[in-house]
């Protein structure tokens, strides 16, 4: 049983202003596995004041000083690799293999990428008589979710450290263990007091004061579109910068060619990763209507190979994160059945042999139309919808017919044809034939999937203000 009853503020572990606690549940067992203190506006105020005080000196540090700190953070992160992997599996149900192969390494990737970018990043640009200067924006509030907890913490913290910002982090209260360990890593790395602060708590008690505090200059939020709208509203009165990575309903267009079966299989497998709990999951597969039967056969065969069970065993899928999520997914699966989609495999209820834990059957629907609930709403579970199209132009139109625009996918043997489709999809990131894993590629969405970009050098710019110093260089003397 884990107990995390202190917050990390100004370089020290401190008691909450008022002690309130919350139980943390293991989604694989439905049993309480830990307890955290729950913060308040008073705790947020303490953390923001510490960050504001630290900003005065941290913002003036040299490139070399920040590189040294990032290097120490990366070294400490590597030391805690096993602890982090165990925590992620326990708190949100990621299979141990996924935690060790992806959930934890991606945090290291963001740190290493920030180091490489910082070595040569241009904070000043000479434009004739004017000097353009990039300066740290200030104190940042980070509100992060539970589905890829370390990715979403470190992709904010690393560029913020690199650019000279200070910060307050609220990890998800649903999956807080990895965030706690990350704060321990920051302490062990000797990050100067006040540069990094961490408070546990929920959206109302901690998230709202973090996004509305007048001494916070920027809020970076990852989560649902509904919550993102509230964050923006809270931030508006003080005109802070708001960066949001929100929901998605990503199309996956499989072209009519010799790579069709491979594309369908790849799409099903990608959909099931992390139990479908990824905002950029390829949830809507579009196939030629005349090949729907073939798509159904390939999708069914692929889904049948996906194993679900104990995340500490050899299963490919663990549970979804909570009963709230489980119940939501079950309702949406039932909606798909009720609205007339063809249930290819899966359905409601737990997989056979599992009577405890928030396990969801790998589910595939076919003959889905874009007006059905399962084609419109973000399910956030291992549920795939297959839609038919008559022409590629129609596939693109269907793909873009969503309020979201986070990601999109194209599968096809003809690379030029796939590129042409990709150019017409309204999404912040488009993957062709399984392309991915580029830590320098910007990540973020169009439309209601958010604003701003994370990852790589694009993330650096989110944490910088632009200053023009006119008359920096004297004008050449007239001849």
Whole-angstrom distance, CA of residue 437 vs CA of residue 289: 31
Give phi and psi for 210, each to the nearest 5.
-70, -35
- Name which of 115, 133, 36 is nearest 77 in CA terms: 115
Alpha helix segments (H runs only) across 80-148: 81-92, 96-98, 105-120
Render 312-345 in DSSP notation, one character per residue.
TTT-SB---S-HHHHHHHHHHHHHHHHTT-EEEE
Q: Is 245 a catalytic residue?
A: yes
Whole-angstrom distance, CA of residue 136 vs CA of residue 464: 5
Q: Is 279 a catalytic residue?
A: yes
Catalytic residue from among 76, 90, 173, 245: 245
Half-sphere exposure of 479 (CA within 13 A, CB side): 0
Whole-angstrom distance, CA of residue 159 vs CA of residue 140: 11
* Interacting residues of 15 by C-beta distance below 8 A, sequence separation 6+: 5, 6, 37
Catalytic residue from among 155, 173, 279, 454: 279
Per DSSP, the three-state class of 10 is coil
Return the active site residues: 245, 279
């Amino acid at each position: 049983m884990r107990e995390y009853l202190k917050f990390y503020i100004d370089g020290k572990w401190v008691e909450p202003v008022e002690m309130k606690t919350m139980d943390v549940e293991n989604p694989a067992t439905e049993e309480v596995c830990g307890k955290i203190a729950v913060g308040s506006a008073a705790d947020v105020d303490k953390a923001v004041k510490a960050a504001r005080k630290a900003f005065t000196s941290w913002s003036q540090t040299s490139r070399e000083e920040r590189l040294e700190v990032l290097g120490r953070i990366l070294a400490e992160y590597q030391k805690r690799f096993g602890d982090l992997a165990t925590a992620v599996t326990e708190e949100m149900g990621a299979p141990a293999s996924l935690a060790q192969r992806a959930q934890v390494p991606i945090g290291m990737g963001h740190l290493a990428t920030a180091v490489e970018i910082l070595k040569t990043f241009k904070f000043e640009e000479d434009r004739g008589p004017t000097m353009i200067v990039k300066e740290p924006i200030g104190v940042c509030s980070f509100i992060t979710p539970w589905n890829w907890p370390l990715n979403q913490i470190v992709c904010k913290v690393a560029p913020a450290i690199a650019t000279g910002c200070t910060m307050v982090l609220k990890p998800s209260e649903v999956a807080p263990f990895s965030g706690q360990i990350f704060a321990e890593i920051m302490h062990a790395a000797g990050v100067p007091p006040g540069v990094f602060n961490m408070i546990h708590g929920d959206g109302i008690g901690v998230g709202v004061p973090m996004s509305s505090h007048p001494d916070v200059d920027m809020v970076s939020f990852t989560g649902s579109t509904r919550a993102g709208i509230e964050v923006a509203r809270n931030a508006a009165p003080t005109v802070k910068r708001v960066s949001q990575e929100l929901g998605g309903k990503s199309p996956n267009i499989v072209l009519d060619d010799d790579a069709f079966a491979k594309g369908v299989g790849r799409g099903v497998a990608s959909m099931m990763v992390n139990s479908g709990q990824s905002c950029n999951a390829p949830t809507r597969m579009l196939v030629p209507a005349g090949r729907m039967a073939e798509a159904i056969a390939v999708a069914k065969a692929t889904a049948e190979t996906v194993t679900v069970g104990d995340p500490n065993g050899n299963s490919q899928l663990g549970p979804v994160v909570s009963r709230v999520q489980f119940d939501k997914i079950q309702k949406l699966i039932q909606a798909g059945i009720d609205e007339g989609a063809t249930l290819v495999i899966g359905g409601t209820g737990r997989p056979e042999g599992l009577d405890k834990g928030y396990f969801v059957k790998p589910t595939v629907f076919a003959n889905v139309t874009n007006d059905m609930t399962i084609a419109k709403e973000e399910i956030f579970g291992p549920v795939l919808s297959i839609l038919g199209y008559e022409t590629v132009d129609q596939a693109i139109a269907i793909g873009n017919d969503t309020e979201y625009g986070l990601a999109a996918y194209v599968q096809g043997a003809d690379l030029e044809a796939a590129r042409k489709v990709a150019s017409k999809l309204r999404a912040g990131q488009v993957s062709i034939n399984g392309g991915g894993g580029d830590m320098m590629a910007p990540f973020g969405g169009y439309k209601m999937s958010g604003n701003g970009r994370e990852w790589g050098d694009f993330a650096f710019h989110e944490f910088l203000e632009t200053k023009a110093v006119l008359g920096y260089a004297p004008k050449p003397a007239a001849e």
